[in-house]
Amino acid sequence: MSVVSNLRSPVKPMVVESRAILCSTGNRFKVTNTEITKKPQQRVTKSPAAKKKKPDSSFSASTDDSSSSTSSSERSTVKTTNSRKIITPSKRNGVVTTKLNDVVAVAVVEDISPKLPGPVKRCHWITPNSDPIYVLFHDKEWGVPVRDDKKLFELLVFTQALAEFSWPSILHKREDFRKLFEEFDPSAISQFTEKRLTSLRVNGCLILSEQKLRAIVENAKSVLKVKQEYGSFSNYCWRFVNHKPLRNGYRYGRQVPVKSPKAEYISKDMMQRGFRCVGPTVIYSFLQASGIVNDHLTACFRYQECNVETENELKSLEMDTKLDLHSPRLV
């Protein structure tokens, strides 16, 4: 009896493809470079049919053997990067492999998530723990040029009140101040009597000390006198700086003074006109709050914004002046 041996082609060992694990950041990563690392040989689990057949140990995944034993459609594409061979995934005998001479490609990822802008830089007296109403006052009002008489008088009263309260406390009581002081109308405040002063209370307590309340009434009378001489309280205040804000351009908070020679000069002039509680420190705070002096630090985002607002305002005033000069007048 003759035994016919069946010749069968050897079965190639199965190579399991190593799959890249997607990070939790999802699409925030992109492949920017490719590195070559040695991959240890993986244990191959053979099918029952493959166990009966002796695998061809001379199998090689090199490009030379592939060109001689497989067709062009089954060949693995080889790329050369930095003199190293990298094989891209290819399909052969129903098995997908990325292995080439125990060399595998490992993708290097780079975080390309958008960078969020940092916090806005403000003056040194605004901290992360500052009251929101105080931060809003810094961002919208402090250092902005004010030329309205009532608004200027309001800021003068507030800076006088700093001897008893802080800015956040005053700002929280701003509506109470405006209600009790008739929207800071100097004409109305100048008529306050002693009985009216004692009624200026919030939750049963005087909104300010009696000394400060009497000073506010006297200052209202002085404002009316100044308006008769200079046309407005605004003209009186701004004439000390030639109607243009002073820009100190301090870089550090320690450089900002509590008073200045200009404030001392204005303080003396106001005292001679009958104003009370207007020392150099109070006046300098008034100049800062009213924008007559721009004391925002140069690193603060409001420094340049206030400068731009001032330039636009000055251009507008110049245009109005030219229109007034060229407008026809009735005789």
Judge whether 219 and 156 are in contact, CB under 8 Å: yes
Judge whether 312 and 144 are in contact, CB under 8 Å: no
pLDDT number for residue 202 = 92
Mean pLDDT per 10-residue section of the chain, whose length is 331 residues: 49 52 50 49 52 47 45 45 50 52 48 56 93 95 94 97 95 96 96 94 93 96 96 96 92 94 97 96 97 94 88 77 53 37
Residue 300 lies in domain: 132-314
pLDDT number for residue 61 = 43
Helix ranges restricted to H, the chain: 48-51, 63-69, 132-140, 149-161, 167-172, 174-180, 186-189, 194-198, 210-230, 233-238, 261-272, 280-289, 301-326
CA 110/CA 28 separation, integer angstroms: 8
CA 175/CA 91 separation, integer angstroms: 79
**264 is a domain residue:** yes
Looking up residue 144, the CATH number of its domain turns out to be 1.10.340.30
pLDDT number for residue 10 = 53
**303 is a domain residue:** yes
- The pTM of the full predicted model, rounded to 2 decimals, is 0.62
pLDDT number for residue 19 = 53
pLDDT number for residue 266 = 97
- Give the CA count within 13 Å in the CB-facing half-sphere of 178: 9
pLDDT number for residue 193 = 93
**200 is a domain residue:** yes
**255 is a domain residue:** yes
Number of domains in the chain: 1
Judge whether 10 and 53 are in contact, CB under 8 Å: yes
pLDDT number for residue 219 = 97
**257 is a domain residue:** yes
Q: Which residues pair with 81 in a beta bridge?
A: 84
**183 is a domain residue:** yes
Task: Give the pLDDT confidence of 99-141 residue by residue, as tens digits.
Answer: 545 544 444 444 444 444 557 899 999 999 999 999 999 999 9
